[in-house]
Amino acid sequence: MSLRFQIHKVSRHVSRYLNNTRNLSTETESDEKKTHFGFETVNESEKQEKVHKVFENVAKDYDTMNDAMSLGIHRLWKDYFLCKLGPVSNTKLLDVAGGTGDIAFRFLHHVNQFNYKNCHVTVTDINPHMLEVGKNRSTSLKQDQSMISWQEGDAEKLPFKDNTFNAYTIAFGIRNCTHIDKVLSEAYRVLQPGGRFMCLEFSHLVNSTAQWFYDQYSFQVIPVLGQLIAGQWKPYQYLVESIRQFPDQETFKNMIEEAGFRQVDYENLNLGIVAIHSGFKL
């Protein structure tokens, strides 16, 4: 057998191997489930990294941009959300995707104002940059650190034992998760029997004319504000698009019920710009 023939034979095997590997790679990529990242379709494995990058980029300007985008109304939404939760003595709250501390700080103010005893809030967020913002704010506010703790964690796989908390909140965070059903399942798991789940999230307006005007503001103004205030256009373009991809009020209510929660209801605020969903683990 000549050397030239042997080289040709080896080359042919290598070529066949590379083609098979390429085909396998293509099949694996095509078989991977897709999800949305705003209006972009991406592999599920990509979304978490992309969302992580968005919030890493906007963390330091997050609160300033919230004020600018909502004209400060987000503060009233969060105040009302906390009042509707109505924490009392012995409330053990888990605030998910709450890195900057907006809900946690309202919780602490409420329980201290009414002198409720034995209360604690655990803030968890998948993004350490957001948690760092919250920790720094908490320190500057000179809060009682025995009443609050911070834990990096994924809403789809929480680092807590079953039946740990009697209240669970997530505000403007669940739409950024890849698997909403897993988030709800985890919420159910970590809540004690009788515990309450509450979600504050952007939703769908009940009036089509109002929705049109809202869309014009969202797509034409908010990304521009992001560029002017935070030097970031794309993250705020994504945030606007992610709102449009989130399920409507009734669909989300059904998802919460499918996770096992009972007495599920929702309340629209400002014609449905945001909605508060609530349910109990019974």
Domains in the chain: ranges and CATH: 48-280 (3.40.50.150)
Angle at 254 (CA atoms; ends 253, 257), nearest 5 degrees: 90
Burial 41-54 (b: 16+ CB within 10 A, else e): ebeeeebbeebbeb
For residue 198, pLDDT over 80 is answered with yes
For residue 18, pLDDT over 90 is answered with no
Confidence of residue 227 (pLDDT cuts 50, 70, 90): confident
Q: Is 72 helix (H, G, I), strand (E, B) or coil?
A: coil
For residue 157, pLDDT over 60 is answered with yes
Q: Which amino acid is at 253?
A: K
Cα 182 off chain centre by: 12
Chain mean pLDDT for the chain = 85
Beta bridge mates, 40 = 37
Residue-wise pLDDT for 86-125, tens only, equals 999 999 999 999 988 999 999 999 999 999 999 999 999 9
Please identify which residue in the block is written with the tokens 């095997």: 13
Asked whether 202 and 243 are in contact (CB, 8 A), the reply is yes
Binding-site residues for S-adenosyl-L-methionine sit at: 100, 125, 154-155
For residue 30, pLDDT over 90 is answered with no
Q: Give me the pLDDT at residue 113, please.
A: 96
What gap in Å lies between CA 151 and CA 99, rounded to an integer? Answer: 9
Q: Give me the pLDDT at residue 120, please.
A: 98
Q: Give me the pLDDT at residue 3, please.
A: 41
Higher pLDDT: 196 or 240? It is: 196
How far from 73 is each of 56, 79, 141, 210, 281, CA to CA, in Å? 24, 10, 22, 17, 30
What gap in Å lies between CA 259 and CA 151, rounded to an integer? Answer: 24
Residue-wise pLDDT for 232-271, tens only, equals 778 778 888 888 889 999 999 999 999 999 999 999 999 9
For residue 7, pLDDT over 60 is answered with no
Higher pLDDT: 265 or 53? It is: 265
| Residue 18: partners with Cβ closer than 8 Å, 6 or more residues away | none
Higher pLDDT: 61 or 9? It is: 61
Q: Give me the pLDDT at residue 70, please.
A: 84
What gap in Å lies between CA 77 and CA 72, rounded to an integer? Answer: 9
Residue-wise pLDDT for 67-88, tens only, equals 777 888 999 999 999 999 999 9
